[in-house]
């Protein structure tokens, strides 16, 4: 999720830039990119995968993820748990390819691109750019199909992913967050529950005085009862207040 240094300007791509790529079963490298990966899952990734598999958040997180704390931001990072075999296969990789393709994670949708987001110095605005990944085993880069970054982003269904992921980045890069200072244990638990364990968060929201305390409108209450995306949106808004309360 986080990188130490941005790629040099000459490698950065805008929405209008083009690249060549195609992936299909006729390539000898097909599915090899789904092995031995250090793959972070964003909160929206977890939401979509868990819904695809029809699993309770607790079950999904226990079965398919690992957890660590990012040393730079102090925020939790949830990683997809690869198989214990020698090839470290993605748990969702089948004979014909990805078994959760409609709800595959952000990083899988972006490939062979990587999206870098952050606040530009002095602008106060969240900005993003892209760059190409170039793993030596990938033959898709040698194909002749041409894309713009923008058509790839839209065609791979990334618009809702990027929008929700940027909401998370607004917390990570919040101007009131002390640089290099991690979250305390209570703050970490709030982030993990409100972002990644939506079933437990929904129980908390409806079984305590949360709705009245945070003055959640009636129409929003009705929406979050059955809409995980609306609930995640509420969770991010809650964290903004909980982690960075007004003076």
Q: What tens digit of pLDDT does each residue of 119-148 get?
A: 666 666 778 889 999 888 899 999 999 999
Residues 151 and 230 in one domain: no
Residues 96 and 190 in one domain: no
- Which portions of the chain are predicted below pLDDT 50? 1-2
Residue pair 179/143 in contact by the 8 Å Cβ criterion: no
- Provide the pLDDT for residue 122: 60
Residues 141 and 191 in one domain: no
Residues 160 and 38 in one domain: yes
- Residue 192's closest CA among 65, 53, 48, 97? 65
Decide if 178 is inside a domain. no
Decide if 180 is inside a domain. no
Q: Which domain holds residue 217?
A: 185-243
Count how many domains the chain has: 2
Q: What angle is formed at CA 110 by the lines to CA 109 and CA 111, rounded to 5 degrees? A: 95
Residues 158 and 237 in one domain: no
Q: What is the value of pTM for the model shown?
A: 0.92
Q: How far apart (Å, rounded) are the C-alpha atoms in residues 180 and 74?
A: 7
Residues 167 and 190 in one domain: no
- Provide the pLDDT for residue 2: 46
- Provide the pLDDT for residue 6: 65
């Amino acid at each position: 999720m986080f990188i130490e240094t941005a790629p040099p300007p000459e490698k950065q791509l805008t929405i209008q830039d083009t690249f060549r790529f195609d992936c299909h079963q006729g390539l000898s490298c097909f599915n090899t990119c789904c092995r031995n990966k250090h793959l972070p899952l964003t909160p929206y990734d977890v939401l979509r995968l868990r819904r695809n598999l029809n699993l309770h958040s607790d079950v999904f997180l226990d079965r398919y993820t690992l957890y660590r704390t990012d040393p730079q931001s102090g925020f939790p990072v949830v990683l997809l748990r690869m198989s214990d075999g020698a090839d470290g296969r993605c748990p969702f990789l089948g004979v014909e390819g990805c078994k959760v393709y409609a709800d595959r994670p952000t990083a899988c949708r972006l490939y062979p691109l990587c999206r870098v987001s952050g606040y530009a110095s002095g602008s106060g605005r969240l900005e993003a750019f892209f760059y190409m990944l170039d793993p030596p085993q990938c033959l898709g880069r040698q194909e002749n199909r041409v894309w713009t970054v923008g058509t790839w982003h839209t065609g791979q269904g990334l618009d809702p992913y990027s929008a929700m992921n940027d909401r998370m980045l607004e917390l990570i890069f919040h101007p009131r967050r002390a640089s290099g200072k991690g979250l305390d244990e209570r703050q970490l638990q709030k982030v993990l529950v409100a972002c990644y364990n939506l079933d437990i968060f929904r129980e908390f929201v409806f079984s305590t005085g949360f709705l009245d305390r945070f003055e959640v409108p009636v129409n929003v209450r009705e929406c979050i009862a059955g809409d995980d995306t609306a609930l995640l949106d509420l969770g991010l808004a809650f964290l903004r207040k909980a982690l960075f309360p007004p003076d």
